[in-house]
Amino acid sequence: MKTPQTLAFGILVCAIMTTGSSGADVDFAKIDRSITKEPRYVAKPLYALFLMDAEGRSRHWAVLDKSKSDLPYYDVLYFDTTGNGDLTHKSKRFVGKYDKALEPAGMGLTIRLGNLQVAGTKLDHKDFLISTTPKNGRNGIWFRMKWNGETEVSGGYNRVGYDTTQYSPSPKTAPVLWPCPVVKLSFGVWGGANLTLPIGEATNVNFLVGNWGSGPDTLSVVDEHFLVSNKDRLFATIIAKDAGGREVKERTQIKGHC
């Protein structure tokens, strides 16, 4: 029974995508995108919106700017730590410093916010940072934090590939990220966008597990310690067609963490 290698993997990705459209019961299209007050920006701002509670109600704008208009990267972040829509308070302006030693890790310019207490909740997120300089050949903005000081979450990652979140020049089209590990989790694929599965050959496919936001590059991923092999049972199903056009399925348990 012969299976076209590109068709097999392509359908596998589609199957994963259908499980990760929203993460949980939040209608991202209806989220209030208003900003009460904004500072005067030096460069063209880039917007993203973070939901920082388990219900997806606590809105926190992240707006990237530059300290000098001619810089090749964004080094200033306005982050609405209180969630009241006012970005003008001096406590909400964070500035990163370029570190050449962190270039290989894609964190040359990293803006560190520290800890974030979510108003009206008992949540206290730790070690929140945003990096604006990805590795060579990759695109997007990356964040990392410890949800309520416990579970490391990072992203947002794409459905397939290595790129991360593209912030938007407008609040109306800004991606929404929801780095919450205690809701329904979904999948993405970590690897080259044109990854194939050669027939009869051993191939590793790396899956990301996390919570989807509003777009294809908003998967907030839990760390490798969140799910436990053989306790939290994960399965991948490859769906394809044989030479006669009949559908075939192969179900495999995911047992390894990396």
Q: What are phi and psi of 152, to 5 degrees?
A: -75, 130
Q: What is the pLDDT of residue 16?
A: 39
The residue written with tokens 């790129």 in the block is 163
Please report, for the chain, the start and end positions of each structural domain, with discontinuous segments joined by +.
5-254
pTM: 0.85
Give 149-177 as a DSSP string: TTEEEEEEEPSBSS-BB--BSSGGG--EE
Q: What is the pLDDT of residues 16-44, one digit of tens each?
A: 333 333 434 789 999 999 999 999 999 99
Q: What is the pLDDT of residue 195?
A: 67
d(CA 108, CA 45): 20
Nearest to 129 by CA among 189, 55, 79, 181: 79
Q: What is the pLDDT of residue 153?
A: 97
Nearest to 170 by CA among 29, 41, 43, 44: 44
d(CA 228, CA 240): 29
Q: What is the pLDDT of residue 140?
A: 97
Q: What is the pLDDT of residue 187?
A: 86
Residues of the chain with pLDDT under 50: 1-24
